[in-house]
Amino acid sequence: MDAIHARYPFFEAAREAVAAASVSLPELIATDAPAVERARERVERALLEGTVKSESGPFEGGGAGSAYDVRAELLSYPIARILVSLLDSTPAIEKYAAAEAATAVERFRSDLAADDDLRSVSRPTVDLDDVLAEFDLTGAVRPANGSPTTSTVRSTGSTGSTGGSAAFTPGRDRYRMAVGAYLRLTSPSWGPSWRLVNRELSDGEVPLDHDELLEALTVAVEERVREGLPFELEAGEGIAADLESRVDDLKRLLSERSYVDPIDVVAPDLFPPCMTNLIEKTERDVDLTDPESFALMAFLVGIGMTPDEVVAFCADTSLDVEGIRYQTAYLRDDRGTQYPPPTCETLSNYGICHNEENHMQVAADPLTYYEKQVAEADDVTDWREEHDVRVDSETG
């Protein structure tokens, strides 16, 4: 089992590595191996925070103790798929697959963007040729200028390139994708720029820049992860019985989440202090951490804002437009899978909420706090009306 397999456990090579190791998942689960707890965390963070990264820090592979880390990280993936199957919820599967894809593409971006001279040889990486081959896209994607697709990388694992061509420049590198692959991996619902009528279709190919290609690859990863889910398992027997307490914990965690109907009014002066702090950070051109970004986007979606409205609201901030659209689309869809932002207690654990003015006594989560503030206000002016920004949810 190589570290590259643990970073990308949905790759075919990772599946083969698990099979070759003759690992017994039922035995691992029965003995409550470290991979089981990591799998539970994987699913929990996927459903509530949109990522499968560990709270203990990023998994890089390599270094002292890596054998244990690689094994637990890699095996947590198939066990997580069992857990999410046992939740018996289509929305949970959709959220889980999206979170796995979001985390993987973040790693793709990191692997492809680093300059060869600066890349640490201790971290295994993939190049674009590896990724395209994995999803049978080698013949469907080519560079528009005829240069090699391979990014400059080094790898200590079994997958990856050792260099030769220049590193990617996000936003400037352009590619052409076969129209069939384009239609399968993109959606007009992402916005007007993605609609085929707005693309320069030529010789059966559609132009894409680097970031757009990664957006399309996100769909490819999501499809791969979702494939075969849910598993058919008999409740109360075998693996299902051994994982019952873990599944119950996940169900309890979800049921304890505080839900409120969208308030559908945007009054920044009434936002909870933690959300105001995050907005002020972005206005100072400070990048948010993943938990901070997720919390803010979940709050804005939770109060009824459409993706286009969130983009307009965050126009003069450090937040990336495509990142906003992806995350708000993840949080706001038509499958009943929307989750509210984390509770104040969880935000406090991440150092986001500092209980200013003892506001946790007012409400236990940002949406409930905001709902009470709006209800108690004498006169509320909607930011969208004040700035002539109002986008219907069906067209946003």
Q: Are residues 107 and 234 in the same domain?
A: yes
Residue 353 pLDDT grade (very low, low, confident, very high; cuts 50, 70, 90): confident
Q: Give domain status of residue 38, yes or no.
A: yes
Q: Are residues 137 and 285 in the same domain?
A: no
Q: Give domain status of residue 344, yes or no.
A: yes
Q: Are residues 136 and 174 in the same domain?
A: yes
* N- to C-terminal Cα separation, the chain: 44
On whether the pTM is more than 0.95, the answer is no
Beta-carbon-side half-sphere exposure of residue 84 (alpha carbons within 13 Å):
32
Q: For residue 164, is pLDDT > 60?
A: no
Q: For residue 272, is pLDDT > 60?
A: yes
Find the mean pLDDT for residues 179-183: 95
Q: Give domain status of residue 377, yes or no.
A: yes
Q: Which domain holds residue 188?
A: 128-144+170-217
Q: For residue 7, is pLDDT > 90?
A: yes
Q: What is the C-alpha separation between 4 and 233, in angstroms, rounded?
A: 30
Q: Are residues 64 and 210 in the same domain?
A: no
Residue 236 pLDDT grade (very low, low, confident, very high; cuts 50, 70, 90): confident
Q: For residue 86, is pLDDT > 90?
A: yes
Q: Are residues 42 and 175 in the same domain?
A: no
**pLDDT score recorded for residue 118:** 47
Q: Are residues 76 and 139 in the same domain?
A: no
Q: Are residues 244 and 327 in the same domain?
A: no
pLDDT digits (tens, 9 = 90+) for 91-115: 788 889 988 998 999 899 888 876 4
**pLDDT score recorded for residue 257:** 54
Find the mean pLDDT for residues 4-14: 95
Residue 173 pLDDT grade (very low, low, confident, very high; cuts 50, 70, 90): low
Q: Give domain status of residue 158, yes or no.
A: no
Picking from 80, 323, 102, the residue whose alpha carbon sits closest to that of residue 220 is: 102
Residue 133 pLDDT grade (very low, low, confident, very high; cuts 50, 70, 90): very high
pLDDT digits (tens, 9 = 90+) for 113-131: 764 444 444 567 899 999 9
**Tally of CB atoms within 10 A around 80:** 25
Q: Are residues 88 and 233 in the same domain?
A: yes
Asked whether 250 and 47 are in contact (CB, 8 A), the reply is yes
Lowest mean pLDDT among 22-26, 119-123, 198-202: 119-123
Number of domains present in the structure of the chain = 3
Q: Are residues 181 and 317 in the same domain?
A: no
Q: Give domain status of residue 161, yes or no.
A: no
Find the mean pLDDT for residues 125-143: 94
**pLDDT score recorded for residue 337:** 41
Q: Give domain status of residue 195, yes or no.
A: yes
**Average pLDDT, rounded, for the chain:** 81
Q: List all residues 6 or more positions away from 307 whose beta carbon is below 8 Å from its beta carbon.
A: 324, 325, 328, 329, 332, 396
pLDDT digits (tens, 9 = 90+) for 39-51: 999 999 888 778 8
Q: Are residues 92 and 195 in the same domain?
A: no
Q: Are residues 240 and 287 in the same domain?
A: no
Q: For residue 183, is pLDDT > 70?
A: yes
Q: Give domain status of residue 96, yes or no.
A: yes
Picking from 19, 209, 222, 7, the residue whose alpha carbon sits closest to that of residue 126 is: 7
Q: Are residues 45 and 110 in the same domain?
A: yes
**pLDDT score recorded for residue 333:** 52
Find the mean pLDDT for residues 190-204: 87
Q: Give domain status of residue 287, yes or no.
A: yes
